[in-house]
Structure 1
Amino acid sequence: MTHHQDTSAVRPITDADIPTAVETLARAFADYPYTRHVVAEDDHEERIRRFQQLCLTRIGMVYGRVWVADAGRAVAVWTTPEQDPSPAFAEVGPLLGDLAGDRAVAYESAEQAVAPYRPQEPAWFLDTVGVTPEAQGQGLGSAVLLPGIEAAAHAGYPAYLETSSERNVKFYERLGFEVTAEVLLPGNGPHTWCMRKDPR
């Protein structure tokens, strides 16, 4: 039977979706400039998997909102102003530092470099998003992001994200985001674009 992608396939994540969603994120970030810069080379794929699993299960699912499309083959993880994720970051931060390994200093300095450009007012933050490689180019990325973008706008909050891929910048611009800053991460790191979409 042919698998037709329709927007009804986008829904909030359930516990059953977690394994597929983690796999999706791990594969989507297998060779991403930012994570290459801030996560140790040694056992890189496993570190990325655990990094994404923490962002999904300990931050997004507890303190934010998460949607999947195609049963987890696309996933978007947001934190929202309804709950302050600081406790999660305080708890998970040291674990992320451990996962960064010998790149922990790069991870810290990258965070500090973009911090001034992050919204100071309440906003929806796109924590992580991924589409499994074989499902890319089918509109799943846009589909899985739209509920969060719409919910932020409906609540009157800006939506904010950071990307270290120039190709992604064009993709997000088509969704209505604008570049607010372009930061060259310290220590020979990649260019990172800060983007936001204000509620109309």
Structure 2
Amino acid sequence: MPHIQHAPVVRPITDVDIPAAVETLTRAFADYPYTRHVVAADDHEDRIRRFQELCLTRVGMVYGRVWVADEGRAVAVWAAPDQDPSPAFAEVGPLLGDLAGDRAAAYESAEQAVAPYRPQEPAWFLNTVGVAPEAQGQGLGSAVLVPGIQAAAHAGYPAFLETSSERNVKFYERLGFEVTAEILLPDNGPRTWCMRKDPR
């Protein structure tokens, strides 16, 4: 019997999905140029896990929207402009600083370098997205991103993201994003691209 590729089932996250989603994000970012640069090397994976869990549960699930596919093997976390996420960032900011450890200065300088290129107007901001390594190449990444892209367009907002992987740039371009800035992060940081997709 040939294996039939079924369209991924994408749905909003529920509390039951959190452990699988956190695990997916942790594995997806275990060796990512940006997080390598801004998160301490000691206990790196545990720091990444806590970092991603904060983004998922304190920002995305409270102030934005989160979708999962394939039982949490793909997850996309968005901050949406309908409510102001400042309280979450005020709460999470110091925790992220702690998680950065001896890379806290690099984290600060990276944030400052990218800040001028972020949208000044309300926008849907892709906080984090990941696909479990063994599930890559099956269309899960684009499937889990489409609901957020469509919701942003439907509400008349641009969608915005940052990536430190050149391979990801091509992937997002296929989804209709355009590069708006290319930044070499200070302190020997990785090249980082800002990308946005305006509502039609």
Could you say whether these structures have the same fold, taking a TM-score greater than 0.5 normalized by the shorter chain as the test?
A: yes
Counterpart position of 2:194:
194
Superimposed CA distance per residue, residues 95-115 of structure 1 (whole angstroms, 9 cap, x where no aligned partner): 000000000000010000000
Superimposed CA distance per residue, residues 146-172 of structure 1 (whole angstroms, 9 cap, x where no aligned partner): 000000001100000000000000000
Residue pairs, 1:51-66, within 5 angstroms = 51-66=51-66
One-letter amino acid matched to 1:25: L
**1:89 to 1:140, Cα distance in 2 relative to 1, 3 A:** same
State yes or no: 1:141 paired with 2:141. yes
Counterpart position of 1:23:
23
Partners of 1:5 and 1:70 within 8 A in 2 = no
One-letter amino acid matched to 2:51: F
State yes or no: 1:96 paired with 2:96. yes
Superimposed CA distance per residue, residues 1-52 of structure 1 (whole angstroms, 9 cap, x where no aligned partner): x785424x10000000000000000000000000000000000000000000
Gaps of 5+ in 2: none
Counterpart position of 1:35:
35
One-letter amino acid matched to 2:115: A
Counterpart position of 1:160:
160
SS of the counterpart of 2:66?
strand
Distance 2:165 2:95 in 1: 25
State yes or no: 1:6 paired with 2:7. yes
In percent, how many aligned pairs have the same letter?
86
SS of the counterpart of 1:120?
coil
Distance 2:4 2:84 in 1: 39
Counterpart position of 2:174:
174
One-letter amino acid matched to 1:53: E
Superimposed CA distance per residue, residues 62-97 of structure 1 (whole angstroms, 9 cap, x where no aligned partner): 000000000100000000110111100000000000
Distance 2:141 2:83 in 1: 25
Counterpart position of 2:106:
106
Distance 2:72 2:82 in 1: 24
SS of the counterpart of 1:125?
strand
What TM-score, normalized to structure 2? 0.98
CA RMSD in angstroms, aligned pairs only: 1.2
Distance 2:104 2:59 in 1: 20
